[in-house]
Structure 1
């Protein structure tokens, strides 16, 4: 039996990677998220009620550590990383410090640290009322961004162009109901990218720069393409150095990171960073064009292996890959989905995912979880890759029963 790894939270795909590497695993997860058909993956499975505090998770972990010591700790789900960090600190296991996780989750803390180190001085403030939002806008000018302090998936995010839009944006934020407070930030004008990296002993290696596409009102991501080789490629070195400085300032010393930036006329500015791999199939897109398996690298690191030398200084990406999302503009109940097989047979397409199934309610694209379908595709260059994905997506149609008229309509995704 290999190393005994304490696994905190979900993401069974990664847990199976650990088992493949020979890990003996004790899983601690919320009881309702444990799947009985996957229990054979683990040496021991411990279910915890959802309302238990971090201290109670600590007590459970310490109890089992005393009777069957852990060699390491792993956590692959962002929402559980704070628990993992405190448990690791208590049991003296190697992991990121709790303050590092908190800096990546709390956007006010992140901006404070980046400002202190001179990395990024984007203006922002905690606000509680419309008057405070208005005062920030008067001081720094419109447009501004309103968002939750520790939100995710573009939930509750709004761009405010003028004072007339303030009440609507505040109402939109309140639908998110994070309860963690809200912040306003200056609007960063420019092209958006995400930067995938792995860190080890404080050394940061950049895997890929991904070009991002978002809808304008709530910044829901609708597409990505990589590797980026457009008109901004002259700034590649500046982006690399900026992200490396940001990761060092925040205190990220090891593991994967996914950093979202805007390339402004004044250089790169950060939106947010995460101590995890990128979402929206970005690891799969990278694997499609480079052959590098980011999930394997993460699993090896969790087992205590060194992986930094497995990452080429400049990964060889022989082709390009893209993903494109869509959702019908008509709100209502999904009655039928047409064209999935036709989309799958489109040139360059590697994956088609229907995200809103028959019987689901479609409400438009308001956050990452409301998108209805996506297509992954490759091409000789990024233009062709994204064109292949968009063409395939256009073939998918949703038959929807309109909420207002009860009329059944056919909508493209």
Structure 2
């Protein structure tokens, strides 16, 4: 029986990888972070110590005859790449292990490879931001983001010059923590703002060949802090736009060294008809994208990840062409959840209704994805009917919040 090692079994995407592997008859073992609070695993090590992690996990894999190593946690994907390189297992380019995780390394690799991206500057303090603005190299609006966070944490679209100091503090501040006590890269990216429709490309690359499973349309909020409010699969773009988006995603995948594994490439189509890569991650798109892909196209992204890691040809061909859309319901402000009412009932056309937080749980403000309380999915064959129903159901949900503290 083949044996798969899952790194960080507590992570929701890692639980999905575990489920997919066990359903395929694959034996699963796990490695957890050594600190208290982890549910443990067959091996405990320090996720914040790269050398210790690679040494411990490599030794464990050799001693227990592990056939593949995977993780669904974006922060740990570079470590898994380094382990797989030591074990000669299918993975990504070890020399570029951080290029799909750290946004400074990512920006450098994309630019060097000729991939169209926003004009980007890297700064280390607020004075450097002031010099950029004074010199005219950056104009309004622009984006400030931390080098190594995720989930839109620390990201601000600066629309008014008076907001620049607060935007810098948010990107550099304590809200943008990294997990497991990992060392935080304190550099900040300042990027031109790209106006346009937002999409992501969900891909599985095997032996250096990207297989683009679908394009996801993203529904986002407006203002200084852009929160994703929904997703739709397929995106419904015309053939020319689809070719351009997929070609650009393929360029980005190659640029950051993804050769064996999933990727989630975020792009925008601007007013000039250009496809601009905003970011790329070496993981499956965050919830509920994997569910949408399976419901709309019949492709199990997590099973495909397991197959790629094991060197098995991944099943990425669509078995159906339906439509699925998700809507998030969010907290109106920071605080504790007092009630959530008006949730839709699950049925064949609404197969997923999921609460991320319960009554009494704390939720973050609307500056990042921490304000999400849950989501639901509507699916079927008629796009317009499904979208109307999703909007109607969304309008019925009410999240009430008590004051923080």
Q: What TM-score, normalized by structure 2, do the two folds share?
A: 0.87
Deviations 1:362-398 (A, max 9, x none): 4442211221232211243434323322322322223
Q: Secondary structure at the match of 1:375?
A: strand
Distance 2:132 2:319 in 1: 45
How far 1:98 sits from its partner (Å)?
3.0
How do residues 63-142 of structure 1 correspond to structure 2 at under 5 angstroms?
Answer: 63-137=59-133, 138-142=136-140
Paired residues of 1:85 and 1:96 also in contact (CA < 8 A): yes
Paired residues of 2:352 and 2:377 also in contact (CA < 8 A): yes
How do residues 5-404 of structure 1 correspond to structure 2 at under 5 angstroms?
Answer: 5-10=4-9, 11-31=14-34, 32=36, 34-35=38-39, 45-49=42-46, 53-137=49-133, 138-173=136-171, 174-178=173-177, 179-180=184-185, 181-216=187-222, 217-230=224-237, 233-264=239-270, 265-307=272-314, 310-312=315-317, 315=318, 317-340=320-343, 343-344=344-345, 348-402=349-403
Gaps of 5+ in 1: 40-44, 405-413
Paired residues of 2:115 and 2:277 also in contact (CA < 8 A): no
How far 1:35 sits from its partner (Å)?
3.5
Distance 1:364 1:387 in 2: 28
How far 1:182 sits from its partner (Å)?
0.9
Deviations 1:99-131 (A, max 9, x none): 333001122222222222212253111112333
Distance 2:235 2:74 in 1: 26
Identify the range of structure 1 (329-338 vs 199-208) with the bigger mean alpha-carbon deviation. Answer: 329-338
**Equivalenced residues, count:** 388
How far 1:197 sits from its partner (Å)?
1.0
Paired residues of 2:146 and 2:189 also in contact (CA < 8 A): yes
How far 1:272 sits from its partner (Å)?
0.8
- Between structure 1 and structure 2, the one with the greater Rg is 1
Distance 1:154 1:147 in 2: 8
Distance 2:404 2:64 in 1: 56
Deviations 1:314-343 (A, max 9, x none): x46533111111224244432333233xx1
Distance 1:328 1:290 in 2: 31
Identify the range of structure 1 (153-162 vs 386-395) with the bigger mean alpha-carbon deviation. Answer: 386-395
Distance 2:47 2:210 in 1: 35
Paired residues of 2:154 and 2:170 also in contact (CA < 8 A): yes
From the superposition, tell whether residues 71 and 402 of structure 1 become closer, same or farther in structure 2 (CA, over 3 Å). Answer: closer
From the superposition, tell whether residues 112 and 288 of structure 1 become closer, same or farther in structure 2 (CA, over 3 Å). Answer: same
More helix by share: 1
From the superposition, tell whether residues 355 and 17 of structure 1 become closer, same or farther in structure 2 (CA, over 3 Å). Answer: closer
Distance 1:68 1:160 in 2: 51
Q: Secondary structure at the match of 2:231?
A: strand
How far 1:34 sits from its partner (Å)?
4.7
Paired residues of 1:348 and 1:388 also in contact (CA < 8 A): no
Relative contact order higher in (CA < 8 Å, ≥ 6 apart): 2
CA RMSD of the aligned region, Å?
2.5
How far 1:251 sits from its partner (Å)?
1.7
Identify the range of structure 1 (368-377 vs 7-16) with the bigger mean alpha-carbon deviation. Answer: 7-16
Q: What TM-score, normalized by structure 1, do the two folds share?
A: 0.86
Deviations 1:23-72 (A, max 9, x none): 34442211446547xx7xxxxx1123565x12222332243345333333
